[in-house]
Structure 1
Amino acid sequence: MDLKEILTTHREYLHQIPELGFCEFKTSAYLKEQLELLGYKVESTAKTGLLAYRKGESDECIAFRSDMDGLSLAEETGVAFTSKHQGKMHGCGHDGHMAILLGFATHLSKIEPLKKSVLFILQPAEEGPGGAEVIVKEGVLKKYKVKFIFGLHLYPEIEEGKFGLRSGVMTAQTGEVDIVIQGQGGHGAIPHKANDALIIMAQLINSYQSIVSRNLNPIDGGVLTIGTIHGGERRNIIAEKVELTGTIRAFSEEVYETIKRRIVEINTGLETMFNAKVKTQFIDMYPCIVNDKSLFELVCHSTLGEKMIEIDPMMIAEDFSYYQKEVPGLFFMLGSRNDALGFTNPLHHSKFNFSDNVLLNGVELYDEMCRLLNVY
């Protein structure tokens, strides 16, 4: 088989067995088998993750990472290789990411000699709760003397054959907020003898709108979204408890912490105003992706620059950022949009799909990065 056929075979097999974070057992077994057939030394990491290493003439190591997990999503693509796991789907392109890494590992296995060492990181749980942080805490990057790290993500907002990149901050720092308002229930006809948690909830949400509009510099990016509200039992009962959940996004830690601080201040003030209890819990998630300036300029001044689109920062989140807090790296948004073939659905869509040509583009991108860094 030629490389494109190999890529297609890997992608179609992996697409049929999507598994959720830290439960990628079938996926891990397949990846391990394929990498060992290519002659790589493979070891486990982060429960279901894998590391595949090839020693070069130098200990200096370049790492390439792919995520592994699927989504809780019922597939509606209608393809012959549709998901065999009911209610689960590779709707974010991670099957493509893995196929690209396997294809690149195949390409690399035929190159002699390697001037520098190469590490492939197959990482679980990118969709949550996050596998990159676990791998970093296990000391993988230090153990293998990783100097630079690279990753990519299929991106249907950019046409096939191009890729998106920018220097500096590219994705948002993200976190979650859970809020519980405790009032006092009562009969709907006697509201003065109760303490309506729904009224407090309405005041909270209205007050939160001032955080982004009045407490942040308009030039800075920040988002606070309340996504769920649960409260009340029936129409004639004053609600005693209301629960809210939301997400926080920002392009800097300073802005992120400002949003959190203002949430607490508003909640504390309304506790006093309404003589109620407001419990707040924050769950800090992924930091910002920050692409290395020198590596970005290296790409710009190479033949890759002709395929590059310099993109604006995005409010999405990616745990590749944990690796970049340890070593310099780049994260590419690999174009997968193909209007002629109908590949236009967004990520996390039940009909998300892409052309196999995208896989070859990913391998060529990694190959060129290795040449630019004198790996071979």
Structure 2
Amino acid sequence: MNKGMRWSQEVDKMVGKLIQTRCELHEIPELAFQELETADYVVRRLTELGIECRTGIVGTGVAGWIPGSHGRKTYCFRADMDALEVVELNEVPFKSKKQGKMHACGHDGHMTILLGLAEVLVKGDFRLGDNVLLLFQPGEEGTGGAEKIVKSGLLDEYQVNEIYGLHLFPGIEQGKLGVRPGPMMAQNSEIDLTIWGENAHGGTPHMGNDALVVASQLLLAIQTIISRSLNPLDPAVITFGRMSGGEVRNMIARQVQLEGTIRTFREDTYETLKSRLLAVVRGMELTYQCQVDVDLREMYPAVNNPLEMVESFMQAQGKEHVELVEPVMLAEDFAFYQKKYPGLFFFLGTRNEEKGLIHSLHHGRFNFDEQVLATGVQAYLNILIHKAAFDVL
């Protein structure tokens, strides 16, 4: 916990419950849009609190509705539900019970924080004037559940005025809150290139068209886009992390596949990068008399925080407890909400070198000290207090 923050006794008392909740959720990781057991758990917990639940949102999502006395505004808080296809390497009592699946991105913590907020709002010495919508979103990991929820009209139906989300983050110190105005997380796309050449015996290469050679030249040429076609002060990344092709050692390869990702913070930068990449590909086709199939899938926009919401957030938490972080080339589908609604996304630091809690997100040893979850609950509560969302405190 971050005791220097504006702290409520109700949050202080619930640390044990938060730890138990996180452990129970960590044991039942489920992949995107398969979060049936997770959804059942969330519904049971919300129902026990007397909170009205809406289920089956874009498949497996859940929303909890807490109406205020006058309901002039509605504040939405979002937690993602899905886990990853990662083998857990932690030897802990609450280790994943589902082989090959793990909450390696902290979503078990995000849901725990939202359930903790629900309990404080219902059982604490508070009386809400404004409404609160607790949104448990499926399918964040590469499947764009947020976009589906926006398109479903759910937030319009509940007349959401502002939406908030957080992410546990080992890049900053445990208990610290990290945020920045403007672009904070990257726009991302996935790109697959399939190079088609012509087979021939390895001893007669002139009889074929070597797709491996073309792929190698293409890979090197693409790297010059960042260094020669973009402003060096404008961050962008093109990474090809997988290359496969060929049949046997003594045959000219007919087909090679490259799989990669593109990350930028600005849409105009992305458009420049995309057009240059396609031009390089077409140039290779002409030079080597081959065919290159391009599959470019645009994924998430950039997470972009409004300045006024960042300033309000810092005032709510106490500026000394908020770190202005550098932008990161990670992606997050919370950006889809921000495209339509005023929204703020922030990091909750989990890095604790003394306890060895240093592993990155998506790592089989990612873990965190559950004490930090109370900080997350308090951060959300501080937002509502600062927004004067309560009749009585």
Q: Determine if the TM-score, normalized by the shorter chain, exceeds 0.5.
A: yes
Residue of structure 2 equivalent to 1:136: 150
Match of 2:244 in 1: 230
1:306 is aligned to 320
Q: Is the 8 A contact 2:76 2:160 kept in 1?
A: yes
Conservation of the 8 A alpha-carbon contact between 2:186 and 2:264: yes
Deviation by residue 1:25-70 (Cα, 9 ceiling, x = unmatched): 1000000111111111111211011111111112420000000111
TM-score of the aligned structures, taking structure 2 as reference length: 0.93
The separation in 2 between residues aligned to 1:55 and 1:153, in whole angstroms, is 26
Listed as ranges, the matches of 1:10-29 within 5 Å are: 10-29=21-40
- Among candidates 95, 105, 114, match of residue 101 of structure 1: 114
Check the 8 A contact 2:178/2:324 in 1, yes or no.
yes
Please report how far the alpha carbon of residue 145 of structure 1 lies from its aligned counterpart in structure 2 after TM superposition: 0.8
Letter in 2 for 1:76: L
Q: CA RMSD in A?
A: 1.2
Structure 1 residue 372 displacement after superposition: 0.8
Runs of 5+ consecutive residues of structure 2 not aligned to the other structure: 1-9
Query: Do structure 1's residue 92 and structure 2's residue 105 form an aligned pair?
Result: yes
1:165 maps to which of 154, 166, 179: 179
Q: CA deviation at 1:158?
A: 1.1
Alignment check: 8 A CA contact 1:59 1:145 kept: no
Q: 1:54 aligns with which of 48, 51, 66?
A: 66
**Match of 2:376, SS?**
helix
Measure, in 2, the Cα distance between the counterparts of 1:279 and 1:302. 51
Look up the equivalent residue of 2:180 and give its one-letter code: R
Residue of structure 2 aligned with 1:320, choices 323, 334, 342:
334
C-alpha displacement of 1:159: 1.1
Identity of aligned residues (%): 44
Query: What is the match of residue 385 of structure 2?
Result: 371
Residue 197 of structure 1 and its aligned partner are, at CA, apart by: 0.7
One-letter amino acid matched to 1:350: G
Q: Secondary structure at the match of 1:317?
A: coil
2:90 to 53, 56, 77: 77
Match of residue 221, structure 1, among 222, 232, 235 = 235
1:301 CA drift (Å): 3.2
Question: 1 CA distance for matches of 2:73 and 2:317?
Answer: 24
Distance, in Å, in 1 between the alignment partners of 2:364 and 2:162 is 34
Q: Which runs of 5+ in 1 are unaligned?
A: none
CA contact (8 A) 2:316 2:382 kept: no
- Does 2:273 align with 1:259? yes
- Say which of 307, 326, 330 aligns to 2:344: 330
Who is 2:5 aligned against? none
Give the 3-state SS of the residue equivalent to 1:63 in structure 2.
Answer: strand
Q: Give the deviation of 1:339 after TM superposition.
A: 2.1
Contact 1:252 1:288 in 2 (8 A): yes
Residue equivalent to 1:275: 289
Mapped partners of 2:168, 2:49: distance in 1: 25
Residues 155-200 of structure 1 deviation map (CA, whole Å, 9 limit, x = unaligned): 1121112111001110010000111111111111111111111111
Q: Specify the alignment match of 1:68 in structure 2.
A: 81
Shift of 1:302: 4.0
Could you tell me which of 5, 30, 33 is aligned with 2:16? 5
Letter paired with 2:279: E
Give 3-state SS (helix, strand or coil) of 2:340's partner.
Answer: coil
Query: TM-score by structure 1 length?
Result: 0.98
Cα separation, 2, equivalents of 1:205 and 1:114: 57
Q: Work out whether residues 244 and 258 of structure 2, in 8 Å CA contact, stay in contact via their aligned partners in 1.
A: yes
8 Å Cα contact 1:149-1:323 kept in structure 2 = yes
Query: 1:288 matched to which residue of 2?
Result: 302
Partner amino acid, structure 1, of 2:71: S
The number of residues matched between the two structures is 376
Match of 1:115 among 109, 112, 129: 129
Q: Secondary structure of 1:220's partner?
A: coil
Contact 1:183 1:277 in 2 (8 A): yes
- Secondary structure (helix, strand or coil) at the match of 2:237 reads strand
1:126 alignment partner in structure 2: 140
